[in-house]
Amino acid sequence: MSSRALRRLKGKQRGQEALDLGDLVPGEGPEPEEQAADVEEEEVEPDEGTVVHIAILTTAVHIAILTTCFSSILLCIEAMGVLPWRRLTPSHRLLCLMCGCQEGAGDDIDALLETIEQSNGLTLQSEGCGASDNRPVLYVEHRNLNPETELKRYFGARAVLGDQRPRQRQRQFHRSTWMTIPKNTWPRFSRPGISMTLLESRDGLQYFTFEHSRDYQQIQFKFLDSVESMDPNNIVALLQMNPYHIDSLLQLSDVCRIQEDQEMARDLIERALYSFECAFHPVCSLTSGTSRLDYLRPENRAFYLAGYKHMMFLERRGCPRTALEYCRLILSLDPDSDPLCMLLLIDFLSLRSREYNFLLRLYQDWEVHRNLSQLPNFAFSVALSHFHLSQEDQTESEERERLKHKADLLLQDALIMFPGVLMPLLDLCTVQPDAAVSSHDFFGPRSQLGQTPALAELVSLYVGRTHTLWREGGVLLWLEECVREVLRRVDAKDPLVEDCQNKRKQRYQSAPLNIHRHVILSEIKEATSTLPLEVTTQSVMGFDPLPPLDSVVSYTRPERQSVGASNESTLSLFFRSLLPNFNLQDDLEVAQAGRELNQEVNRLMVAMRDMLANIQFQEPPREDNPDRDEGEWD
């Protein structure tokens, strides 16, 4: 320690009353017994003198931190006896631990984060997902939005951050953001023209909306022109001039993902989120669950889509816990309408991240007013959560039996309510069902044919997404036991069987638009093949899939001047475009023809799919056919 710092610790500063900290020097000062007696004497009721000592001690703590002397802090606390370690503020504890890391006392970031949470009185279950009953069920933690937090838990802080010392990490001084960390490879950030406005505050909720400036609106019009040209190079050129234009980033990310450039696709989405977060309103809180964004406004939809795509990249990257946090964030923005239907996904992410208690709490809190049990994904996932909880080692034997019995009943009810789930699930799990199961009318082909298109869409989505969770040996054995019990109940004419059959006929008549939108974004082939004809025949834009019919439009695109339209049909334009001398009168006609051609191709593909499905091939005649003319092929 330098002599200047030592003089500061001893109180020899100009204009300040000297502190008697001589007992900080080893070998001097009172004995430990005397120190303990002084501590007990001064901790009873803090008087005015004690308050002064506390203020002086705070100054001494900061001085000790500046001089990177962790031992001096502890000695100050023990010597003064007025502010024990347990009474230090969380900020002081954090600073002390940081100072200790510099002295080599500890470089474990996870221990540091755990100490901060414990100092704030927060007890977290499995890194804190919905652990405290006092928090809202959609409470979001900032630190869980960072995938590095989850990766540190899996591989350790040193493996994630490298061998750098804490002060050497993140030397770049960027604006503090929670969702993404800006990269040095990104273009220099300048406000693209997006801002957030507080519309109103009502019933403890704050309703926000994003707004586009005049310049940004002009860029948006150019982007729409680029999309209609169906040339990705035009979007690239637009991004070179406007590197933080949101819709261009989303659209180009889809192009990169299709071309299997996952790194660039993920980078573009992170850049879009960073642009959004820099435009946040000062009172907009991502953690409280009280901020709302109306999906009916086109300016807000890009934030939903960017968050969804970022969430899916995180899940594929192996960070399901972080993806779950983004899922809760998106759901909290509009939990009533749920425009992206995150309720069809949140159970899968909860199971992937082993957040079983959170899923059960969400189910208990929302079942009354949202009827979550009528969704196939919740009916099966809640049962699976109970089963996994019953298999944990720390669970007591009585609690295990209770959870296992509850899981059995829930899975049996789910199979009775949705019998069409079993056979596709076993097929994707590459499991050959028992003959007694496959030949039974309840689980046989009739269960598939008797489903309405809306129910088939939900079932296909759940099976295609979560079949990997059912492949475990213990889970399959449990499923087999419940299937046999269900068959016994069906043969015994259980009243629940007929009741569920009537519910399936009355409900699931048609799926709402948000479910179709979710299926399109999921890109699960088992589910997309069940989309109705009115969805598959219309053009779907990646930057705004299936926009709401009652959108709240704040500005409109100016009408484009039409130049002499061609009288040729769309198909004639298509076939003539194959000729080398093809040339339309104007680019505007090319865009219009492209839109019409896209619709015609979609209709043609649907017709071909139906035709191929109805084709029946006649078997060739057998050689032992007595009616065959022997001389026919001579």
Residues 403, 484, single domain; the answer is yes
Are 466 and 578 in a shared domain? no
> What is the pLDDT, as a whole number, of residue 231?
87
- Does some domain include residue 365? yes
- What pLDDT is recorded for position 134? 73
Domain boundary among 73, 106, 139: 106
Could you tell me if 501 and 364 lie in one domain? yes
In a domain, 152, yes or no: no
Q: Last residue of a domain, which of 75, 106, 137? A: 106
DSSP code per residue over 176-236: --SS----TTSPPP---SEEEEEEEEETTEEEEEEEE-HHHHHHHHHHHHHHHTT-HHHHH
Q: Are residues 592 and 498 in the same domain?
A: no
In a domain, residue 531? The reply is no
Distance CA 297, CA 211 (A): 10
Give me the pLDDT at residue 109, please.
47
Closest CA to 375 of 508, 471, 505: 508
What single letter denotes the amino acid at residue 63?
Answer: I
SS3 at position 281: coil
pLDDT computed for residue 341 by the predictor: 97
The reply to whether 479 and 572 lie within a common domain is no
Q: What is the Cα 475 distance to its own chain's centre?
A: 25
Domain that holds residue 58: 3-106
Which residue, 277, 267, 208, is CA-closest to 239?
267
Quick one: 503 and 579 in the same domain? Answer: no
Tens-digit pLDDT profile for residues 581-602 = 555 444 445 555 555 665 665 6
Alpha-carbon gap, residue 67 to 69, rounded angstroms: 5
Residue spans of beta strands (DSSP E) within 437-541: none
> Using CA of residue 235, residue 236, residue 237, residue 239, what is the dihedral sign?
positive
Q: CA-to-CA distance for 446 and 23, rounded, in angstroms?
A: 86
* Residues forming beta bridges with residue 541, ordered by sequence position: 544
Within-domain flag for 172? no
Q: What Rg do the C-alpha atoms of the chain give, in angstroms?
A: 32
Helices 214-228 and 587-614 meet at what angle, rounded to 10? 50
Number of domains in the chain: 3
pTM > 0.85: yes or no: no
Residue 53 lies in a domain: yes
Do 445 and 576 have their domain in common? Answer: no
Q: Is position 519 within any domain?
A: no
User: Can you give the pLDDT at residue 541?
Assistant: 87
- The reply to whether 396 falls in a domain is yes
144 within domain boundaries: no
Same structural domain, 361 and 471 = yes
Co-location of 605 and 493 in the same domain = no
Check whether residue 452 and residue 578 sit in a common domain. Answer: no
H/E run at residue 292: strand 291-293
Last residue of a domain, one of 511, 543, 574: 511
What pLDDT was estimated at residue 561? Answer: 57
Cβ neighbours around 166 below 10 Å, total: 14
DSSP assignment of 408-467: HHHHHHHHHH-GGGHHHHHHHTT-PPPHHHHTSTTTSHHHHHTS-HHHHHHHHHHHHHHG
Which pLDDT score is estimated for 155?
A: 82
Model pLDDT, residue 162: 67
At how many degrees (to 10) do helices 48-66 and 70-80 cross? 170
Task: Tell me, yes or no, whether 385 and 465 share the same domain.
Answer: yes
Q: Residue 368 corresponds to which amino acid? A: V
- Given a contact cutoff of 8 angstroms between Cβ atoms, the answer to whether 27 and 19 are in contact is no
Q: Do residue 361 and residue 454 come from a single domain?
A: yes
Calpha distance 409→324 (Å, rounded): 27
SS3 249: helix
CB distance 190 to 244 below 8 Å: yes
Q: What is the pLDDT of residues 314-335, one digit of tens each?
A: 999 999 999 999 999 999 999 9
In this prediction, the residues of the chain whose per-residue pLDDT falls under 50 are 6, 9-87, 97-110, 113-132, 167-168, 171, 173, 562-566, 584-588, 616-619, 622, 625-634
Instruction: Specify the pLDDT at position 473.
Output: 77
